[in-house]
Amino acid sequence: MPNDISFSPLCNELADKARAIAQTHVLPNAAKYDRLQEYNWDAARACAAAGLFRTFIQPEYGGLGAGILALARVTEELARADSGFGVAFAVNALGSFPIIVGGTEEQKQRWLPSVARGEKMVAFCLSEKFAGSDAQGLSVRAVEDGDDYVICGEKKWTTNGGVADIYSVFCVTDPNSKSRRISAIVVEKGTPGFSIQKVENKMGIRTVPVVETHFDHVRVPKANLIGGRPGYGFKHAMMTLDLARPGVAAQAVGAAQGALDLANVYANRRQQFGVPISNHQLVAKMLADMAMKTEAARWLVYAAAVAAEKGSADTSKMAAMAKCFATDVAMEVATEAVQVFGGYGFMEDYPVAKCFRDAKILQIYEGTNQIQRIVIARHMVKELGALEHLKQYIPTETQKDYGGAPVAT
């Protein structure tokens, strides 16, 4: 049974602030920054001034402790104006969650307050060239040397790379262990040997940098090992993704709503056969379907956010369902929005082409939608215990007599 979804006054206040910033600082510059592939620092500063980076950080560390539902609503509002800026914001939570779920008190005090103030941006370094979906297969190595770790290797697809000051880096600390192989270590910008080697030239979300991060004998103190104990990195990564996937799902809802808004305005303005095209029933059906699916995704995302916030037993499943469903909806709605715009939709002069380009990555990052379906199906197997009573109503393939129901022979 889903948890109750209710919005606290703080959650509504933060969402309202995000919407205002989206309209004044994000939307007007989205096309320009997309073309230039530049980060919207002006909007980031506005978010910091409005306290939006405090949303996902507990009060003890300078945050508001507003929770995952508030984080989802803020991300949704920002992504509605520009999906790239939505993820640029949300990745700060993704990169902070390893510290929040696994860090020591000292580590939380050391890094989280500056994130809450919006002074320092954060990135999450898990994926590598040869380790994407198979996150346990990563190979960046951290070797103990006295009081330090020395890190060597490369990470791929680091969102916010270059912009961020704090990087949660997942490394192999014990190559011989099966279940305690990986640890998360914080690397700060400017540490010798740490560099950005390649800024990716992307199809979409061009307003946020995605980079390769290189580690050439990067020496960091053992105090940067998240949680202080090696071997818990993979667990922390998975717990992080459970908390962050409702955020990327919220980005998808915002992206879908943004595309739908454009299609709605255009369909009611564009005249063909003497009437707005929204009067043609096939176009009206498209708009109605887009609206229904976006709304359904929105409430699944909110339900997943509440599950994550409450630490419900089905958090992973809900997060995966929300991520998968909402991002599939975003792609579908963006595709239909281009269709509503017709030939104009295919042209970069019109904003809906950007929505289409921005949508695709949603189905890929923070775990492909194929991986989400695996997570969901694995959880469904775990739920079989509660369905034991149904077995009596399902004849086995060899059962001959079953109350008149057709029986396989």
255: enclosing H helix or E strand: helix 233-269
Q: Does 173 bind ligand CAA (CB under 6 A)?
A: no
CB of 64 or CB of 248, closer to ligand CAA: 248
By CB under 6 A, name the one of 8, 109, 133, 396 that touches ligand CAA: 133
> How far is 212 from 125, CA to CA, in rounded Å?
9
Q: What are phi and psi of 339, to 5 degrees?
A: -60, -40
Packed helices 27-36 and 83-102: angle between N→C axes, nearest 10 degrees: 90
Q: Does 136 bind ligand CAA (CB under 6 A)?
A: yes
Return the DSSP state at 22: I
For residue 148, CA distances in Å to 142, 153, 168, 279 come to: 9, 17, 16, 67
User: What track of x and - describes contact with ligand CAA for positions 309 through 348 (by CB under 6 A)?
Assistant: -------x--------------------------------
By CB under 6 A, name the one of 74, 126, 286, 330 that touches ligand CAA: 126
Q: Among this protein's residues, is 366 annotated catalytic?
A: yes
Q: Which stretch binds ligand CAA (CB under 6 A): 68-76, 99-107, 131-139, 395-403?
A: 131-139
- Burial level of 344, CB count in 10 A (0-12/13-18/19+)? middle
> How far is 148 from 143, CA to CA, in rounded Å?
8
In the region spanning residues 22 to 61, those forming contacts with ligand CAA, defined by CB under 6 A, are: none
User: What track of x and - describes contact with ligand CAA for positions 58 through 87 (by CB under 6 A)?
Assistant: -----------------------------x
Q: Does 168 bind ligand CAA (CB under 6 A)?
A: no
> How far is 305 from 322, CA to CA, in rounded Å?
9
Report, in Å, the least distance between residue 313 CB and ligand CAA: 11
- Residue 309 region by backbone torsions, left for phi larger than 0, else alpha for psi between -120 and 50, else beta: alpha
Q: Does 365 bind ligand CAA (CB under 6 A)?
A: yes
> How far is 338 from 335, CA to CA, in rounded Å?
5
Beta bridge partners of 199: 211
> How far is 23 from 43, CA to CA, in rounded Å?
10
Q: Which stretch binds ligand CAA (CB under 6 A): 130-138, 183-191, 265-273, 281-289?
A: 130-138
CB of 94 or CB of 226, closer to ligand CAA: 94
Of the listed 309, 366, 388, 397, which one is catalytic? 366
CB of 244 or CB of 267, closer to ligand CAA: 244
> How far is 81 from 273, CA to CA, in rounded Å?
32
Q: Which stretch binds ligand CAA (CB under 6 A): 40-48, 212-220, 221-229, 365-373?
A: 365-373
Contact status, residue 164 vs residue 121, Cβ threshold 8 Å: yes
Catalytic amino acids?
Answer: 366
Contact footprint for ligand CAA (CB under 6 A): 87, 91, 94, 124, 126-127, 133, 135-136, 157, 159, 179, 234-235, 238-239, 241-242, 316, 365-367, 371, 375
